[in-house]
Structures are given as structure tokens and as C-alpha cells.
Amino acid sequence: MPELTNVDNKKDMRKNIFHLAWPAILRMLLQSIVGVVDVIMVGQLGAAAIASVDIGNRIVFVLIGTLMSLTIGATALVAHHIGAGNKEEANHIMWQSLLAGVIAAVVIGGLGILFSKELMYSMTFLMEESNPFIINQGSVYLNIVLASMLVGLPMMVINAILQGIGDMKTPLFIMFISNIVNVLFNYLLIFGIGIFPALGITGAALGSGLGRFVGFLIGITILIKGEKGIKLDTAIIKLKIDFEIIKDILTIGIPAAVEQFARQSSQIIYTAMVAGLGTATIAANAVTMNVSSLAFMPGFGFGMAATTLVGQSLGAKRKDLAENYSKQSAYLTFGLMTAASFLMYIFVNPIVNLYTDDPAVIGMAVSALKIFLLFQPMLGLVMVLAGALKGAGDTKWVMYFTIFGNWGVRLVLSYILGLKLGFGLNGFWLAMGIDILSRAGMIVWRFSSGKWKHLEIVNLRKKRVAEVTE
């Protein structure tokens, strides 16, 4: 691991940025590729099948977003205790996080299963006539996927714990194996290959669930072996919640969880409005979402790198380095995402044709993607500077910008442009582009003010976490 805070030239800064960013980019890329492959396979079943899976996944993403506080809080607390040499307390936090993850998965998943049809109806209420296929098959898909979160959420917690101890490669390995299982069994169970039955959408849900189960088994095995610096043994396994630990986890993670909830819940409303334009539009929107997710992977990776680099630099009292790391990360991300957007704009037609052969879906998806790709480099800028502000402890402003942009700009303009003015799916994606520009302007303003460099939030948090170890 290179010395992150003992550099003064741009070359070394960029080297450190890439060192931290590439594992995160690769992990996100693998996840997105699997999402693309899943949609391509489901797309062979028709536009209604794509719409069913897409709506079901929107609901799942909202539920996962609200539970992100568990993973973020676990990462922070484990990292602090490992850094302090207090492995015993780190192990205790690990078990409490896993226990809380299982309980949360049971509660949230159970409620989701009980009200799956109602949730699907709520997502399609703007359709002139609800498609029974979408409601019924989407409910089946949602039931299976939510049931698999019993192991899926603990797997997320395990990855967060491993990141907290500084192990970025093992979560990547878990993701790789989990995705292979996912894609393999999706193929076998969707189309009925060999001895396997053709289950269609149900097969897609079962494949995803099996992938999560295998990932969980790998992760829990690694923790039991204790070869990564943290160990799950019988001494700490107690079916009793330590509310002080849970409070610490939630105190650290709630701002990020609120941000995630604001983003994902706005996506629910957005998808419901898109659903009012019919099945083909829902399918085209799903394709557009999946394709666009590939190009902004650098934003995720460099945003995570910026969080670490800014946090360490400010901790080392190097405010100048924190600012320079942020700027270099932003420059690199903007350049990479501009290049990616340019290439995807050129090849957008053949890319969309991989998903479906429905002419109506292809036409709408191609047009919407061309609009979004114009704004995508600015999205990279938002991701990196948001990561920098989070590293400084300035999470509230990131939350404010997300709520304003997603709810005050994107949803309002989606309704006006997409529905009232009749621009259809193009109007929805133009609204998203304007949202990106508005958030970019606000986050550049906050970053340029320099106030984030003088906050005491991180120091106060360190003192509070340190008290837990005494």
C-alpha cells in the first residue's frame, strides 16, 4: 500500500488515485455487466418480461438503499478499531452487524413478500390499463429476490467488513464467483437448458438468489477461517443485540442511507411515471438504464478513491493535498467518462440491439441513450466531488443536493417534459440530464467554498468511536 499522504506531485497523486480506484471500478463493472446480461436474457422473453423484472428490481433497490446504513456504519467502525489494534471489538462489531443484517432482511423481505402485488400495482398505477403479466410475473420475481436477501444483505455486510479492514480484493472475488453462478443459472433456468426446466422470469430470480447464496457462503467461510485479520468464532456468536453498537453503526451510516433512500425512492416515482407510457416504454427505459450504467463505472471507483484520499489527507492535516486529490480525481474521471460516452454514442445502435429485437423498444432506447450520454461526464464530476465531501465528513450537503436534484428537479421536469408536453421517454432522460447539471453546479459551489476542509465532523466522529473502545 503506497503512502497516500506523503506526496506533493501530480504524478504520484494520480498513481495513488488509480491504485485505490481500479478494484472498485472492476467490482462495479462486473456487477453492471451481470445486470446487462440478465436483461439481455430476460429480453428474449419479450418486452413485458423486461418490464416485470425492471419494476421488481426498482423496488428491491429502494429496500437495499434504506439498509445501506448497516454496511457503511460497519465499514467505518471496523476500520477504526482495526486501525487502533482492537481486533476484539472489531470482531464484536462484525457479529452485531451480521446479526442486524439478518434481522433487517427478515423484516424488510417479509413485508415485501406480503405486499408484493400491492407494490407492483403502485409502480404501474399510471398505466391506462395494468398489464396482468407484469403484475403477476413481477410479483413472483419480487418474492424470490426478496427471500434471497436473507443471505444477500449479510453478504453485503461481509463485504463492508472486509473493506473496513483494508481488504478490497476479497469482496471483488466474492462478487466474481457470485456473478458467475448468477449468470450460469439464469441461462439454465430461464431457457430450460438440459435437465433444467424453462422457468422464464422465475428462473431469472432463482439464478440471482443462488448467486447471492454462494457469495454469502464464501464470505462467511472467510470470516470463520479468520485469515484476513478478523475472525468469526463461537466466543462472539450470541443471539443478543448490542444496542450501543447498533446505535454507533446507525449514527455513522444514516446520512448516507437517507441519501440512498432519496435517490431510490425518486427512482420509484420516476419508473411509475414511465410505466404510464406503456410496456414498450418501460422496456426501453430498462435497456437505457442498463447500458448507461456501464459508462459511469469510473465515477463510482474514483468517487470511492476520493473519499479515502480526502479523509486520510485531512486526518494528516494536509488540507492542500485533500483539495489536490479531489481535483485530480475529478479531472481523470471527467476525461475517462467523456471518452466512454463518445464511444458509446457512436456504437449505441448495435449495443441496444443486443437487448431486444423489438423495433419500438430499440428506437426509444437509442434516442434516450443519446440524450443521456451528453450529460454523463458531468455525472462523473458529481460522483467524485460527492466522494470527496463525504471523505471530509460533509455528508449532509451531499444529501441535500441529492434530494433537491432528484426530487425537486428530475421528478418535476420528468412530469412536465415526459407526460405533460408529450416528449415521452426522451423527456424523462432530458429531465435527468438537467438534474445532473443542477447537482454538478451545487456540488462545485460547495467544493469551491473550501468550507468542507475546515469541518470538525470527522474529528468528533473519531472521538465518539474511540470512546466505544474504552
Q: What would the pLDDT profile of 78-102 be if each residue is shown by its tens digit?
A: 765 665 567 777 788 888 888 888 8
Cα–Cα distance between 78 and 97 in angstroms, integer? Answer: 10
Cα–Cα distance between 77 and 84 in angstroms, integer? Answer: 11
pLDDT at res. 330:
94
- For the stretch 303-352, pLDDT in tens is 877 877 776 676 667 788 889 989 999 999 999 899 888 888 898 888 88
Length of the chain measured in residues: 470
- For the stretch 410-432, pLDDT in tens is 999 999 998 889 888 999 999 99
Cα–Cα distance between 320 and 13 in angstroms, integer? Answer: 12
Q: Can you tell me which residue has the cell 452487524?
A: 97
pTM exceeding the 0.75 threshold for the entire prediction: no
Residue 187: name the closest of 343, 384, 398, 44 by CA: 44
Q: In the Cβ-directed half-sphere of 83, how many Cα atoms lie within 13 Å? A: 13
**What's the CA angle centered on 250, arms 457 and 447, to 5 degrees?**
35
Cα–Cα distance between 434 and 297 in angstroms, integer? Answer: 20
pLDDT at res. 465:
43
CB atoms within 10 A of CB 380: 30
Average pLDDT of the chain is 82
Cα–Cα distance between 27 and 444 in angstroms, integer? Answer: 27
Residue 238 has pLDDT above 80, yes or no: no
DSSP state letter for 101: H
Residue 447 has pLDDT above 90, yes or no: yes
Decide which of 119 and 128 is more confident: 119
Distances (CA, A) of 197 to 49, 50, 190, 312: 18, 20, 8, 53
CB atoms within 10 A of CB 466: 13
All three cell numbers of 118, joined, read: 400491492
Cα–Cα distance between 200 and 305 in angstroms, integer? Answer: 39
pLDDT at res. 26:
87
pLDDT at res. 3:
58
Cα–Cα distance between 234 and 415 in angstroms, integer? Answer: 55
pLDDT confidence tier of residue 390, bands split at 50, 70 and 90: confident
3-state secondary structure 425-453: HHHHHHHHHHHHHHHHHHHHHHHHHCHHH
- For the stretch 148-194, pLDDT in tens is 888 888 888 888 788 767 677 788 899 899 989 999 999 999 899 98
Residue 414, C-beta contacts closer than 8 angstroms, at least 6 positions apart: 270, 273, 427, 428, 431, 432
Residue 462 has pLDDT above 60, yes or no: no
